[in-house]
Amino acid sequence: MKQRIRKLLSGMVVVTLFATAQSQTLTIDKAVEFALRHSPDIDISRFDFKGAVERSKFQKGYYLPRLDLSAVAGKQGMQFKDQESLSANALIGSLSASQLLYDFGKTAGRVSASKEEEEAYRATMNQTISRKILAIKTRYYNVLKMKSIIQVNQKNIDLQKGQLRRAKRYYENGIKTIIDVSDAQVRLTQAKLDLSNSEYEMKLRRAMLEEEMGYAPYDGNYQLYHKKLDLPDVSRHLPAIKTPLAQLEGFAYDHRFELKSSEHLVARSRSIVQSEKGGYFPTLSLKGDYSAQSVDQEYLTATPERQWQGGVDLKWNLFAGKQTDASVQEAKISAMKAASQVDRVRLLIKREVIETRLYVMRMKDAVTLSESIAKSSEKKYIQAKKRYENDLSDYIELQEAQQGYIRSLSELVVSYYDYYIAVAQLDYAVGR
């Protein structure tokens, strides 16, 4: 019975270790999720936004009453002419209160400007998230691209091994010369070198993906999800983009966060102009003070025990050396600059939408044509191999056809994943 229990526990340990050793699958959506959770770039933009929220709260505080309490304990003295000086212990407490009534837009402008700044930082944070999603997709597809190139390089090794076997057999039978064997060995070694380089390159691209995520998921024990390419037939798997260009532009103007941020900055600048213009007018406030004092007997007749005052306070700067004029003009210039920035961002968005839409079309054509070249190259290689086997062509023709076939597959892989990167860039350009 004990032996059976030990075997059962041993089997459970093996199963647990096997399950732990299995790598996880990292999808592109999961990679984006990890990036949004761990990326320092997004944390920085989030902290900037939170800081703007607190600044907005600070400005709103000017609408609320202000209470100040102060207390002083110590000694005080008095001396009158031809009289003996007096000194005594004193304890003085005072309470001051004030409430803004009206300041002709100075406070309202500051509060509105801080609120618009908050919204601008919110849009900037969302734009940072959009850029991060694009970066994650680009690096994810670059890893998959290299993974598929590794498969092409492995196929090249298999072809070179087969060629080496044929060259050795033909040489042993006296059909071909030793140089064919030597060349096949060199090309096999070169194919292995290409495979090794591509494997190192894939590790580097994985590291770049993890850097963009700000996190190495599953302790680095993961595989990227992808559908194995049925080379060279890949064009039928491409997602179609049929939305008209004008519709894409309109969508971008409504959803790009750079434009939203710029528009909020324009509103902020106009609010600052309003606030600065308030400097020409007075500020009305309610103010009240109450104080209580406790002093030694010697001061009771000279010092009030309680006193208070209250009323409407008016402050009006009649002349400030034209500083108010300068502040208003500077605020107006900043508003015009912000408006020009909106126009610049709209032009940038339009150019990016056109550019990325054309790039998608270009890469789709590239995939279609690369697929056609790969299929033709495969036929050429098969024909060259038959000609070589029947002693109708030399070894150079065979190798050129073989390398042309492998090169066409690599270019097809690059075009295929570049198409997906182009789609991701288009999504970013239109604000999706």
For residue 260, which phi and psi values (nearest 5 degrees)? Answer: -60, -45
Residue ranges of domains in the chain, CATH in brackets: 24-64+103-281+322-430 (1.20.1600.10), 67-100+284-315 (2.20.200)
Place of tokens 């209580």: 292
HSE-up of residue 371 (Cα within 13 Å, Cβ side): 17
What is the spatial distance between Cα 300 and Cα 159, in angstroms, rounded to a whole number?
111
What six digits make up the tokens of 229?
Answer: 């390419």
> With 90 as the cut, is the pLDDT of residue 268 above it?
yes
Task: List all residues 6 or more positions away from 21 whose beta carbon is below 8 Å from its beta carbon.
Answer: 221
Which residues does residue 92 pair with via DSSP β-bridges, in sequence order? 72, 293
Angle between helices 178-213 and 28-38 (to 10 degrees): 40
Q: Are 40 and 214 in contact (CB under 8 A)?
A: yes
State the virtual CA torsion across 151, 154, 160, 161 in degrees, nearest 10: -140
Rounded mean pLDDT of 231-251?
A: 88
Which residues does residue 86 pair with via DSSP β-bridges, in sequence order? 78
Please give the pLDDT value at position 110.
93
Rounded mean pLDDT of 232-255?
A: 89
Please give the pLDDT value at position 395.
78
163 CB burial (10 A radius; 0-12, 13-18, 19+)? buried
CA-based nearest residue to 400, from 387, 414, 416, 413:
387
> With 60 as the cut, is the pLDDT of residue 293 above it?
yes
> With 80 as the cut, is the pLDDT of residue 14 above it?
no
Which residues does residue 77 pair with via DSSP β-bridges, in sequence order? 87
Better pLDDT: 391 or 362: 362
Task: List all residues 6 or more positions away from 109 whose beta carbon is below 8 Å from its beta carbon.
Answer: 271, 272, 273, 274, 275, 276, 277, 278
What is the spatial distance between Cα 361 and Cα 371, in angstroms, rounded to a whole number?
15
Please give the pLDDT value at position 318.
84
CA-based nearest residue to 419, from 350, 366, 349, 351:
366
Please give the pLDDT value at position 99.
92
Better pLDDT: 297 or 381: 381
What is the spatial distance between Cα 412 and Cα 231, in angstroms, rounded to a whole number?
8
Residues 90-126 have pLDDT tens digits of: 788 899 999 999 989 999 999 999 999 999 999 999 9
Rounded mean pLDDT of 342-354?
A: 95
Q: Are 242 and 423 in contact (CB under 8 A)?
A: no
What is the spatial distance between Cα 256 and Cα 265, in angstroms, rounded to a whole number?
15
Task: Identify the weakest region by mean pLDDT among 141-145, 260-264, 277-281, 363-367.
Answer: 277-281
Better pLDDT: 145 or 292: 145
Which residues does residue 26 pair with via DSSP β-bridges, in sequence order? 224
Task: List all residues 6 or more positions away from 18 whose beta carbon is below 8 Å from its beta carbon.
Answer: none
Task: Identify the weakest region by mean pLDDT among 190-194, 295-299, 347-351, 391-395.
Answer: 295-299
Residues 302-319 have pLDDT tens digits of: 667 788 888 888 888 888
Place of tokens 């020009």: 340
Q: How confident is the model at residue 300 (pLDDT cuts 50, 70, 90)?
A: low
pLDDT exceeding 90 applies to what percent of the chain? 61
Q: Are 409 and 158 in contact (CB under 8 A)?
A: no
Better pLDDT: 3 or 155: 155
Task: Identify the weakest region by mean pLDDT among 72-81, 154-163, 170-179.
Answer: 72-81
Task: List all residues 6 or more positions away from 180 whose beta carbon is below 8 Å from its beta carbon.
Answer: 167, 170, 171, 395
> With 70 as the cut, is the pLDDT of residue 15 above it?
no
pLDDT exceeding 70 applies to what percent of the chain? 91
Q: Are 240 and 65 in contact (CB under 8 A)?
A: no
> With 80 as the cut, is the pLDDT of residue 269 above it?
yes
Longest dimension (CA), the chain: 139
> With 70 as the cut, is the pLDDT of residue 37 above it?
yes
Task: List all residues 6 or more positions away from 130 whose beta carbon is below 8 Å from its beta carbon.
Answer: 257, 428, 431
Please give the pLDDT value at position 2.
47
Please give the pLDDT value at position 235.
87
Residues 127-139 have pLDDT tens digits of: 999 999 999 999 9
pTM of the model: 0.83
Distances (CA, A) of 421 to 47, 200, 282: 30, 22, 59
Better pLDDT: 395 or 296: 395
> With 50 as the cut, is the pLDDT of residue 179 above it?
yes
- How many contiguous H segments (helices) and E segments (strands) does the chain have? 9, 6
Chain-wide mean pLDDT for the chain?
Answer: 88
62-82 b/e with 16+ CB inside 10 Å = b?
eeeeeeeeeeeeeebeeeeee
Q: Are 91 and 293 in contact (CB under 8 A)?
A: yes
